[in-house]
Amino acid sequence: MTEQNDHSPESETSAAAPVPGPVPGPPAAVPRPPAAPQPGPQPGPPSDGQTGDPAIDAALKDLADAPADDLDAQIAAGQRVHQTLQSRLSDLGGA
Residues 77-83, mean pLDDT to the nearest whole number? 93
**What single DSSP character describes residue 54?**
H
Question: What pLDDT does residue 92 have?
Answer: 80
**Which among 74, 48, 52, 50 is positioned nearest to 63, based on CA atoms?**
74
Phi and psi at residue 63, in whole multiples of 5°? -65, -45
Its pTM surpasses 0.75 = no
**What single DSSP character describes residue 43?**
S
Q: How many residues comprise the chain?
A: 95
**Cβ neighbours of residue 50 under 8 Å, at least 6 residues apart?**
57
Residue ranges of domains in the chain? 51-95
pLDDT of 24-57, one tens digit each? 777 677 777 777 776 766 666 556 768 888 888 8
Directed axis angle between helix 71-93 and helix 54-65, to 10°?
A: 160
Q: How many CB atoms lie within 10 A of CB 59?
A: 23
